[in-house]
């Protein structure tokens, strides 16, 4: 619903479609419930307008978006940097293809940053959300030949 709302703000009336709603995509350490959202951009808009309107994506900021971003800024101890941003391209004909940068590693000479998160909703179970974050981190750590040590939260 959040993705549909983001796309709908820039799409021509009655062109927003949810393709393949609620299908499961399986990855090495997690599964995602996905719905593909498409729309035809308004004639007076371009791909730069579209990207500007859709980021940060509601699917990683939460809703209502502005208030959720205020809370993120206040409560999260580290800036998101590339995490939950966009990776992609614009071509010379106006086409654009982007994705949300999740579970993306940023490599520095002596350290690696790997941020992960979980979608917190009203009835979330904190221990399950924490486990989801650990599961998401395992893929990136495996690429580095590392594992998570068993930890207990205090």
Which of 15, 27, 32, 38 is catalytic? The answer is: 32
- The answer to whether residue 103 is catalytic is yes
Q: What's the CA gap between 100 and 47, in Å, rounded?
A: 16
| Displacement of CA 100 from its chain's centroid (Å) | 5
Six token digits for residue 151: 């930890």
Q: What's the CA gap between 90 and 94, in Å, rounded?
A: 7
Q: What's the CA gap between 43 and 97, in Å, rounded?
A: 18
Which of 3, 83, 104, 140 is catalytic? The answer is: 83
Which of 59, 98, 113, 139 is catalytic? The answer is: 59
Which of 73, 88, 94, 119 is catalytic? The answer is: 119
- The answer to whether residue 139 is catalytic is no
Which of 4, 9, 80, 103 is catalytic? The answer is: 103
Active site residues: 32, 59, 83, 103, 119
């Amino acid at each position: 619903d959040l993705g549909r709302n983001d796309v709908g703000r820039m799409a021509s009336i009655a062109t927003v479609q949810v393709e393949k709603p609620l299908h499961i995509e399986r990855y090495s350490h997690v599964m995602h419930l996905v719905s593909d959202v498409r729309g035809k951009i308004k004639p007076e808009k371009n791909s730069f307008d579209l990207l500007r309107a859709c980021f940060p994506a509601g699917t990683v900021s939460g809703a209502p978006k502005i208030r959720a971003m205020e809370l993120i800024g206040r409560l999260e101890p580290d800036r998101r940097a590339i995490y939950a941003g966009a990776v992609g391209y614009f071509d010379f004909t106006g086409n654009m293809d982007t994705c949300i940068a999740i579970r993306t590693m940023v490599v520095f000479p002596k350290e690696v940053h790997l941020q992960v998160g979980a979608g917190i909703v009203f009835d979330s179970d904190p221990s399950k959300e924490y486990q989801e974050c650990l599961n998401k981190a395992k893929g990136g750590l495996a690429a580095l030949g590392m594992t998570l040590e068993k930890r207990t939260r205090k």
